[in-house]
Structure 1
Amino acid sequence: MAKRLTTYILIALVLGLIVGWVTNAAFGGSHPTPDQAATLATIAKWLGLITTIFLKLIKMIIAPLVFGTLVVGIAHMGDTGALGRVGLKSLGWFVCASLLSLTLGLILVHILQPGVGLNMPLPAVNAAADIDKSKFDAIQIIGHIFPSSIVDSMAQNDILQIVIFSVFFGVAITAVGERAAPLVTAAEALTKVMLQVTDYVMRFAPVAVFAAVANALVERGPEVIGKLGYFMLCVYVGLALLWLLLGLLAYLFIGGRALTLFRYVREPVLVAFSAASSEAAFPRTLEALDRFGVPPRISSFVLPLGYSFNLDGSMMYMTFASLFIAQAYGIHLDLGTQVAMLLTLMITSKGIAGVPRASLVVIAATLGQFKLPEAGLLLVLAVDHFLDMGRSATNVIGNAVAASVVARWEGGLETPAPAEIEPPHAPSHGLGGKH
């Protein structure tokens, strides 16, 4: 089933490109009449509705799945010392991976120079990209990490807040001991049920992928890609090199199994790429890591944490976009200022994964701090969806590598299940299988 689903998603991806392109051309292409433009907008809205439904179905799984797997994982760790050790190793890896992404992006943007020669005129001082930055405030971000209500956190799908509550809940279960055993059993059952729900929802994935890709081309057509084609090419070259470096690091720490890891996570990577959403791949990534041999107590802790602190693809993109805008407007930044900007991006990007279009929000706020025109984001806004596809897939790879490496540090990876076999309807994740 897993292999067939991957094939269906690839077919849907190609069909979406063809249908989107043909539909756009049939209704006027890049120069539609008002009536044709209205028709294209209507078609795009209906296609967008399909994608929205799929993403909502995925998001309804995430909160209970994160809570259940994390509580069970902490309960099976047995002591808070192990939890603290895994947490410190995970955060250490996340910081190093972020620095790697930023440094690679900084080097490549100077070599490839995607914005040089555009010679954009400086916009008015009050010009803006109309991106909501109200949630971008250091004090507010730090305060937002800690939940006031787990119910509200789950309603908002705020992963970091759910992680904080689950850690407290899991540690308390460990402290209470045998009397809390029914709660562990309930959390295990919850995890089992949510993974079964995931199986149902993922059968809808090819339809959603078709709609998402077609929607991206119906209104704007292929011309939008051509106008900023070199910038997109540079970003994808950077992401490809980042994949290579992450693969080499994984090989350094987990040996030959690093090559196998990419095969195990290919389906969630493809889902993230097609839907332009890392969240869409979360449940399947958890299952893939389980089959690969990462103990559930590790993956259930590292993966949710990584969704807030280890967005390697997004870090690479933010580097390119920020310095691309400076190059496009002919604004010279000395090396010290560039390094300060990238460190600012690294720090301020942590913990706001739940903010819509989080990468753009962080970039918009950071541009203002370094006196770069926020309106420059309008340059990349048109192709942001296509770039989001690449960075979402890279985020999944980065978090899969992180979980695998931490598992190796914590005593080794377990024997993998066959990669081609669909996970059973009663997954072993946290259910007395691999711990």
Structure 2
Amino acid sequence: MGASIHPGNTRKRTLAILAGLVLGIVVGLAVHSFLPAYIGAAEQLSALLTGLFLRLIRMVIAPLVFATLVCGIGKMGDQSLVVRVGGKVMLWFIGMSFLSLTIGLLGANLLQPGVGFTPPEVADVSALKHPFQPVEFILHIVPTSIMDAMAHNDILQIVVFSVLFGLALPAVGKTGKTMLTWSEELAKIMLRMTDMVMITAPLAVFGAIMGSLAHSGLGMLLQYGRFLAEFYGTILFQWVVLTAATMCILGVKRIRELIRALVQPVLLGYSTASSEAAYPLLLEKLEDFGVPARIGGFVLPLGYSFNLDGSILFQSFGAMFIAQAYGIHLPWTQQMLMVLVMMLSSKGIAGVPRASLVTLVAVLPQFGLPEAGMALILGIDHFLDMARTATNVLGNGYAAAISAKWEGALEDGPTEDAL
């Protein structure tokens, strides 16, 4: 149920973000080197621009998660194909989501990407280091009031309510269909609002990178390069794991053919940073590979809602990066619990521009991590998003082929010469 994204708009947005990045680098380094008296003013401007962006994002989280989750679950209840194909592929999605989150978690713990960064100031970082109470957390999952959960942007409580609400829709007949239609329309409005909010992203990117470089100089730029290299390395390892898992089901010969078929849509997803832009080509290439249109046309939209492997890897990697930057230690028990929460929350905002940022902003406070740490990521998020999107396209292409294989419907693709 992703928002349609015009290629021209995507290119303009990409250029605007890149312009904000370059301008932020130039202005930040200039202030640090030639105008040290204005470093404080630059940091205040940075806090204003990034703070406004984060507030705008938080503003749309609650209704967006509710509408998209209710709509997705309500629609699933109306399709008989879900019982057979959807049930199997959802198990695959859940498994790959846990795997991706765990890879991001392990990568961040091994590479320590946040060590050495100078984080934006928060009022009291020590107050964020609170002991984890399992009983309190389990009780907290269930909202006493959905209005209170929405008022506080409590993403997990909103997810729980939305899932139960969506599951109840088919049981009330015509009323359920009316509510489903209402949820669809609300989701469209919220997606449009989110798209409007993302217009401010270039200003936030400029502010984030400018403030960081004005404070820390060229050393911060080198640290960003290291962070990008470590994230891309983790993503590449994820690709190897996903490919190996798919090969176990399809076999060596077919996985080679599938990889060749997916090269173009993956490159398109990477260059545009838009899974939706790559969708038509991905569907076409899967049909050429031998996935029937009825399966590909069902699995891919479902995957775009529930199987964003690259985006959810970033959830755990990014959260640990922020924790390390602030020197906040998260025990393994809390890290694994964070994986479970992210597993649920990542399913609620599929198709949203920069969905990973939206989800991360929503989840961070629940684990004592400061939202201000997002400012460290904003400046280079476009390059992170390119890798996330390419991974999402790859993962959904694999899932569609696996579904066709499980259904016994995977046809012989074109010959190697035709490829």
Mapped contact 1:102–1:315 kept (Cα < 8 A): yes
Q: Which residue of 1 aligns with 2:245?
A: 249
Mapped contact 2:286–2:296 kept (Cα < 8 A): yes
How far apart are residue 114 of structure 1 and its match?
Answer: 0.7
- CA distance in structure 2 between the partners assigned to 1:152 and 1:359 by the alignment: 22
Deviates more, 1:135-144 or 1:274-283: 135-144
**CA shift in 2, pair 1:225/1:387, >3 Å:** farther
Q: Which residue of 2 aligns with 1:286?
A: 283
- CA distance in structure 1 between the partners assigned to 2:184 and 2:319 by the alignment: 31
Secondary structure of the corresponding residue to residue 109 of structure 1: helix
Mapped contact 2:290–2:413 kept (Cα < 8 A): yes
After TM superposition, the structure 1 = structure 2 runs for residues 344-355 of structure 1, keeping only pairs within 5 Å, are: 344-355=341-352
Mapped contact 1:98–1:312 kept (Cα < 8 A): yes
User: What is the letter of the counterpart of residue 304 of structure 1?
Assistant: P
Deviates more, 1:224-233 or 1:243-252: 224-233
**CA shift in 2, pair 1:398/1:285, >3 Å:** same
- CA distance in structure 1 between the partners assigned to 2:82 and 2:184 by the alignment: 22
> How many residues were matched structurally?
314
Q: Which residue of 2 aligns with 1:368?
A: 365
Secondary structure of the corresponding residue to residue 415 of structure 1: coil
Secondary structure of the corresponding residue to residue 228 of structure 1: helix
**Residue 378 (structure 1) aligned with residue 375 (structure 2):** yes
- CA distance in structure 2 between the partners assigned to 1:379 and 1:144 by the alignment: 36
- CA distance in structure 2 between the partners assigned to 1:263 and 1:141 by the alignment: 39
Q: Which residue of 1 aligns with 2:159?
A: 138
After TM superposition, the structure 1 = structure 2 runs for residues 327-406 of structure 1, keeping only pairs within 5 Å, are: 327-406=324-403
After TM superposition, the structure 1 = structure 2 runs for residues 212-251 of structure 1, keeping only pairs within 5 Å, are: 226-251=222-247
How far apart are residue 262 of structure 1 and its match?
Answer: 1.8
- CA distance in structure 1 between the partners assigned to 2:244 and 2:154 by the alignment: 36
After TM superposition, the structure 1 = structure 2 runs for residues 7-18 of structure 1, keeping only pairs within 5 Å, are: none
Q: Deviations over 1:197-235 (max 9, x none)?
A: xxxxxxxxxxxxxxxx9xx99x97998864411111111
User: What is the letter of the counterpart of residue 388 of structure 2?
Assistant: R
Mapped contact 2:101–2:312 kept (Cα < 8 A): yes
User: What is the letter of the counterpart of residue 153 of structure 1?
Assistant: E
- CA distance in structure 2 between the partners assigned to 1:234 and 1:156 by the alignment: 35
Q: Which residue of 2 aligns with 1:4?
A: none
Which of the numbers 301, 315, 325 marks the counterpart of 2:298?
301
- CA distance in structure 1 between the partners assigned to 2:343 and 2:417 by the alignment: 37
How far apart are residue 329 of structure 1 and its match?
Answer: 0.6
Mapped contact 1:141–1:352 kept (Cα < 8 A): no
Secondary structure of the corresponding residue to residue 242 of structure 1: helix
Could you tell me which runs of 5 or more consecutive residues in structure 1 were left unpaired when the two chains were aligned. Answer: 1-11, 34-69, 75-79, 127-131, 161-212, 423-435
How far apart are residue 31 of structure 1 and its match?
Answer: 3.5
Mapped contact 2:304–2:350 kept (Cα < 8 A): yes
Q: Deviations over 1:239-279 (max 9, x none)?
A: 10111111111111111211221211222111111111111
Could you tell me which runs of 5 or more consecutive residues in structure 2 were left unpaired when the two chains were aligned. Answer: 1-10, 36-74, 126-150, 170-176, 192-201
How far apart are residue 28 of structure 1 and its match?
Answer: 7.7
Normalising by structure 2, we get a TM-score of: 0.63
Mapped contact 1:272–1:393 kept (Cα < 8 A): yes
**CA shift in 2, pair 1:135/1:268, >3 Å:** farther
**Residue 414 (structure 1) aligned with residue 411 (structure 2):** yes
Which of the numbers 169, 174, 184 marks the counterpart of 1:153?
184
- CA distance in structure 2 between the partners assigned to 1:343 and 1:286 by the alignment: 31
Mapped contact 1:264–1:289 kept (Cα < 8 A): yes
- CA distance in structure 2 between the partners assigned to 1:397 and 1:154 by the alignment: 30
Mapped contact 1:368–1:374 kept (Cα < 8 A): yes
Structure 1 outlier segments of 4+, above 3 Å: 27-33, 119-122, 132-136, 139-158, 219-227, 417-422
Mapped contact 1:119–1:330 kept (Cα < 8 A): no
Q: Deviations over 1:172-212 (max 9, x none)?
A: xxxxxxxxxxxxxxxxxxxxxxxxxxxxxxxxxxxxxxxxx
- CA distance in structure 1 between the partners assigned to 2:106 and 2:27 by the alignment: 41
- CA distance in structure 1 between the partners assigned to 2:159 and 2:222 by the alignment: 37
Q: Which residue of 1 aligns with 2:321?
A: 324
Mapped contact 1:345–1:366 kept (Cα < 8 A): yes
Q: What is the percent sequence identity of the aligned residues?
A: 42
Point out the structure with the larger helix share: 2
- CA distance in structure 1 between the partners assigned to 2:23 and 2:248 by the alignment: 47
- CA distance in structure 2 between the partners assigned to 1:376 and 1:331 by the alignment: 12
- CA distance in structure 1 between the partners assigned to 2:359 and 2:27 by the alignment: 36
